[in-house]
């Protein structure tokens, strides 16, 4: 029997434990049949050994995230990522590695972050406490969406557009920093924020998008990461195009923060594929039409192809 269109989430630790148990049972069966030192047993012994060595284990993890088989990744670049992880946070670097096999040079990004726009999230500690309960959500997008809804409620903006003036006041943003800026460098493969610590309300934000709606979405993603899903040891918070759970949480948070689902479903009307209506809603809430379409499709309201 074949399964298709299955929407399921499984904690990584549970998956690894189940896989370990399965391989151990296969090896035990081989031994019962008098088979020793098979390729599987030798390979599994090597995997176990590497897992016990933190440095090797981290190297293999990054190598796999980059899309390489064991011992085929670019050694010097992976070592550079590991060193960057000591400064910026190992999980942040794992998110960067998940983008593609093209291992980015982080030195330019680190330098740019030091001079990037400063942001200060008002009531940051209180907001983090309010969204703490979302950690129990099974799906990353559910966690992000609920956290976005909670933050909206706490800052007194449960519904309606969050225009630039509201965001500038709440986040202590420099005036007009969210406006379209054609001089923004797109040489960087992702947007990012740099914070002093997990408890800080301040961070520096490096935009990648030069467009107004794109910059609003990026700042919302990074604030969401700071409040909701970034591990405490991470100083850098990347907003990438990777399809990791953390990036999914970011995107769902930003979508709900900028365009509440209750607002969208109340305004889309009887035809969720009406492009003119989608454009109108996107303009009103200052998001891209893709954000509107994605929300409608992900909720099963529209069958529009993204």
Q: What domain range includes position 207?
A: 111-258
The per-residue pLDDT for 305 is: 63
Structural domain contains residue 122: yes
Tell whether the model's pLDDT for residue 2 goes beyond 70: no
The per-residue pLDDT for 93 is: 96
Number of domain units in the chain: 3
Distance, in Å, from the CA atom of 237 to the CA atom of 57, rounded to the nearest integer, reads 22
pLDDT in tens, 13-66: 889 999 999 999 999 999 999 999 999 999 999 999 999 999 999 999 999 999
Distance, in Å, from the CA atom of 15 to the CA atom of 49, rounded to the nearest integer, reads 19
89: left (phi over 0), alpha (psi -120 to 50) or beta: left
Q: Which of 228, 243, 258 is the last residue of a domain?
A: 258
Partnered with residue 191 across adjacent β-strands are 239
pLDDT in tens, 147-186: 999 999 999 999 999 999 999 999 999 988 999 887 776 6
Same domain, 279 and 254: no
Structural domain contains residue 91: yes
Mean pLDDT, the chain, whole residue set: 92
Structural domain contains residue 87: yes
The per-residue pLDDT for 6 is: 57
Structural domain contains residue 44: yes
Torsion of CA 268, 270, 271, 277, to 10 degrees: -30
Tell whether the model's pLDDT for residue 7 goes beyond 70: no
Same domain, 282 and 200: no
């Amino acid at each position: 029997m074949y399964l298709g269109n299955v929407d399921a989430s499984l904690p990584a630790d549970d998956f690894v434990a189940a896989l370990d148990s399965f391989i151990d049972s296969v090896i035990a069966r081989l031994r019962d049949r008098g088979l020793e030192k098979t390729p599987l047993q030798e390979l599994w012994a090597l995997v176990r050994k590497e897992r016990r060595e933190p440095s090797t284990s981290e190297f293999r993890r990054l190598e796999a995230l980059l899309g390489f088989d064991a011992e085929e990744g670019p050694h010097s670049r992976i070592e550079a990522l590991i060193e960057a992880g000591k400064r910026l946070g190992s999980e942040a670097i794992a998110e960067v590695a998940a983008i593609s096999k093209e291992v980015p040079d982080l030195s330019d990004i680190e330098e740019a972050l030091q001079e990037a726009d400063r942001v200060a999230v008002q009531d940051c500690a209180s907001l983090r406490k309010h969204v703490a309960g979302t950690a129990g959500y099974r799906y990353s997008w559910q966690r992000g969406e609920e956290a976005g809804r909670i933050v909206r409620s706490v800052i007194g903006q449960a519904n309606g557009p969050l225009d630039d003036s509201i965001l500038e006041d709440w986040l202590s943003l420099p005036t007009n920093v969210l406006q379209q800026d054609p001089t923004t460098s797109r040489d960087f493969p992702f947007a990012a924020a740099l914070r002093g610590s997990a408890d800080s309300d301040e961070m520096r934000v490096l935009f990648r998008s030069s467009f107004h709606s794109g910059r609003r979405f990026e700042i919302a993603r990074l604030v969401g990461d700071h409040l909701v899903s970034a591990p405490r040891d991470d100083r850098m918070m990347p907003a990438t195009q990777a399809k990791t759970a953390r990036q999914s949480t970011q995107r769902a948070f930003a979508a709900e923060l900028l365009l509440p689902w209750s607002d969208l479903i109340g305004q889309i009307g009887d035809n969720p594929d009406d492009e003119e209506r989608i454009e109108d809603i996107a303009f009103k809430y200052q998001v891209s039409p893709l954000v509107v379409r994605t929300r409608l499709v992900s909720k099963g309201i529209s069958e529009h192809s993204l």
